[in-house]
Amino acid sequence: LELELMVDADMNSGIQFRSKSSPAYNNGRVHGYQMEVDPSDRAWSGGIYDEARRGWLYPLELNAEAKTAFKKGAWNKYRIEAIGNTIRTWVNGVPAANLVDSLTERGFIALQVHSISNNEQAGKQIKWRNINIQTKNLKASPPDKIETVNLVPNTLSAQEKHNGFTLLFDGKSMDQWRGAYKNDFPKTGWSIGNGVLSVAKANGAESTNGGDIVTKKQYSAFEMKFDFKLTKGANSGVKYFVTESEGNKGSAIGLEYQILDDERHPDAKLGKNGNRTLGSLYDLITSKKIPAAQREIGEWNQGIIRVYPDNKVEYWLNGHQILEYTRGSQEFLDLVAGSKYKNWKNFGMASEGHLLLQDHGDKVSYRSLKIKELN
């Protein structure tokens, strides 16, 4: 679909596609995918929102370069490619979003107009022109470099492959993993079912059942993507730069992306200023608590750990950046000196290490484990 639009600067709108309306769903409310029209300072035009269903699927925090593509007070050219499970958007020729999702395969297209909530909005306009659609002989545009949000479990899209991602777990095999401080994968404590890897509920203690698992390969600069699902009161974590050189008991030592039920697990109230809560750099830096990034316990979340060659590290949760720091900076070293890791020599500063999924004695599930090495 291609069209042009112009909107008053203080309005919000969107293009619905593969959308539905039926009396059985929310009294007929339109629901489905929407390409955003957002002239506000947030500048998420071109992002993908799931209207009246799941909310934001591709916020433009994932692709900051596209925020400047939309022109206020001018005609803007929008393009949507929805071919199979792959949905891509462009604003004035700039790639905006790349989503892979299988929830809705077909539906109607609609041009959205929001209701008027105050008198100042009366008379504001959005204009549309040159609306064209192609439904046959479709050919996908070539891959580009922007981030992909893939909601189809344990798969790699064409763009993810093009950009260098590989699977660490394909939904069936654990041949890239072994137990921490072990030669083989644990015989108990971990299970695979319906494409999901789960650590079993035990006594809530570190590594007392199946134990942590680590990648056989070690990584230095990388981007790791992972889906995770918590049960009530559960605790786990994804660690990196794990060297297994400490020979310690309990969970192997490494930098950690905390995975926790903040409301019910006592660890959320320990540490300093919430630095043991969900998405935090465990016991060191508290993650930002962004409402749009939060999911209910029992729902799937998408996490990202991105480590650049210059040691800058980012944590992402459900499309939002929640934390940033630099390994080896004075700030980082000072934080370590005041943490539970202060007695571990050169904590977190290995040049490379294993990735780790933690067994903390609670049931937590993982899927869509992906890695891309960064140069």
Structure tokens that stand for 129 in this block: 């022109």
For residue 112, the Cα-to-chain-centroid distance in whole angstroms is 27
Phi, psi angles (nearest 5°) of residue 66: -80, -10
Sign of CA dihedral 134, 138, 143, 146: positive
Phi, psi angles (nearest 5°) of residue 43: 60, 55
Any residues with CB less than 8 A from the CB of 237 and at least 6 apart, and which? 251, 256, 257, 258, 259, 282, 356, 357, 358, 360
Strand partners, 259: 236
Q: What is the DSSP letter of 353?
A: B
Q: Is 292 helix (H, G, I), strand (E, B) or coil?
A: helix
| Residue-level pLDDT, tens digit, the chain, 375 residues | 999 999 998 888 999 999 999 999 999 999 999 999 999 999 999 999 999 999 999 999 999 999 999 999 999 999 999 999 999 999 999 999 999 999 999 999 999 988 777 887 788 899 999 999 999 999 999 999 999 999 999 999 999 999 999 999 999 999 999 999 999 999 999 999 999 999 999 886 777 789 999 999 999 999 999 999 999 999 999 999 999 999 888 899 999 999 999 999 999 999 999 999 999 999 999 999 999 999 999 999 999 999 999 999 999 999 999 999 999 999 999 999 999 999 999 999 999 999 999 999 999 999 999 999 998
- The reported pTM is 0.95
> What is the Rg, in whole angstroms, of the alpha carbon atoms belonging to the chain?
22
Residue 203 confidence (pLDDT): 80
Distance CA(236)–CA(212), nearest Å, equals 10
Closest CA to 3 of 164, 132, 139, 169: 132
Helices within the chain (DSSP H only): 158-162, 330-337
Is the CB of residue 282 less than 8 Å from the CB of residue 237? Answer: yes
For residue 142, the Cα-to-chain-centroid distance in whole angstroms is 23
Closest CA to 326 of 340, 336, 341, 339: 336
Q: Is 33 helix (H, G, I), strand (E, B) or coil?
A: strand
Is the CB of residue 35 less than 8 Å from the CB of residue 89? Answer: yes
Phi, psi angles (nearest 5°) of residue 110: -145, 145
**Residue carrying structure tokens 């070293």:** 333
Phi, psi angles (nearest 5°) of residue 61: -60, -25
For residue 270, the Cα-to-chain-centroid distance in whole angstroms is 26
